[in-house]
Amino acid sequence: CFLSLPAQISICRDLPNIEVITFSVNGISDLEPLNQCQNLSELYLRKNNIMSLNELFYLKSLPRLRVLWLSENPCCGSDPHHYRMTVLRNLPSLQKLDNQAVTEEELSQALVDGEEITAPPARRSVENSCPEPTESSAAESMTETESELLNFSLEETNKIRQELGMKPVPRDKFSSFSPRETDCNRKKRNNVLNAILLLMKELDAEGLEIVQQTVGRRLQAFRKKELQEE
């Protein structure tokens, strides 16, 4: 399963079998929902709003995580060596960090130079809200279109997978949601839709027939309502 979502990531708590997630340029700040994704092997978090490396606490329990892209987040700080050593000390199973292969020498050095993270970050007082875009994220919205963001996410994901000898992710496995959408209702609708499409893969023929019948009835009701309004 592959997933690309806007800033609301709480849906990940209900997707424990997800394997690849792309959250690049999405205003993500809290990684706690990923704690349940035990099959997660690739996580792309470039250009978000992750303030503290303590967020790595939620990734330490993911046994299959091999690829992490965390660059261009506030938590990276001004000391790239300390940042990389800290990430590798806490996630020693990584094969690639920020599009750079992890070496055995780095893993050994991380035990000396890296900081051990033993506790999660302080919890924020406001949960499940739709934050207003910051000045920097607003600038991103003006310069990167929805299509460009989707293409970049797909490109960066497949570049790393190719270098690791893995098959590329088909374009139809990615969802073209835009971080420029700031309306809460629209974001929630998109999250629900993505979850439904993912969970449908778990249904057998009988279950799919039930979904098809239900969708058919719902569509008829909507069309009838539209005709009445006209």
Residue 3, H or E segment? strand 2-4
Question: What are the pLDDT digits (tens) for 162-189?
Answer: 666 667 766 655 544 444 444 555 655 6
Q: What is the CA radius of gyration of the chain?
A: 20
Please report the domains of the chain, with CATH numbers, ordered by start residue. 5-113 (3.80.10.10), 190-229 (no CATH)
Tell me if 102 sits within 8 A of 125, measured CB to CB.
Answer: no
pLDDT digits (tens, 9 = 90+) for 117-147: 999 988 654 444 444 444 444 444 434 444 5
Question: Which of 105, 75, 103, 107 lies closest to 90, judged by CA?
Answer: 107
Question: For the whole model, what pTM was predicted?
Answer: 0.57
The residue written with tokens 């934050």 in the block is 131
